Amino acid sequence: MNDATGGGGGANLAPAALVSVLRECFHGAGEAGAFLDPGQGGLLALLASLSAAEASAPVAGASVARHALHVAFSLDVFAEWIGGLRDVEYDWAQSWARGEVDQGQWLALRERLALGLAALEAAVARHAARDAQAAWGAAGALAHTAYHLGMIQLKVDELRAAQARATSAKQ
């Protein structure tokens, strides 16, 4: 089973729960969610609703693309760290360096996020049950990604409101 109540019992329950909520963050809540409303889409659907130009537009500071690029970077880092690679210095500032994408880059970034999620899920499933630091890192990855999902949702809401105001002003 894919949900937190699924098989495996004891030692595998915590990693399964973490993976389940990570999936919710990216793919949305089904009939019930840990933190999203039932039926609400996740990060990937939210990003798919935007064009590259919309994603690149600065909204209340950083663009959606800038946040998405940062999340993609963080997924790689978290997966490596959870997997045991903990002596690497990562350039987190560089993950914020770019904020604009063209259509091809936007599609590639969304694919990179999906692949990054798969790698993170595999790392959590493989290491979190037997390594307390890995479980801690998985919880951190979830919190970090949920934060950015919220920030991106706010930016998309503001972008849509600005578009509605512009349309209304033209009428």
DSSP string, 55-108: HHSB-SSSBHHHHHHHHHHHHHHHHHHHTT--S----TGGGGS-----HHHHHH
Tens digit of each residue's pLDDT, the chain (171 residues): 233 433 344 456 688 999 999 999 999 998 888 999 898 999 999 999 999 999 999 998 999 999 999 999 999 999 999 999 999 999 999 999 999 999 999 999 999 999 999 999 999 999 999 999 999 999 999 999 999 999 999 999 999 999 999 888 887
The closest alpha carbon to 113, from 147, 79, 72, 70, belongs to 72
pTM value surpassing 0.85: yes
Long-range contacts made by residues 41-45, C-beta under 8 angstroms, separation at least 24? 42/149, 43/71, 43/113, 43/145, 43/148, 43/149, 43/152, 44/110, 44/113, 44/114
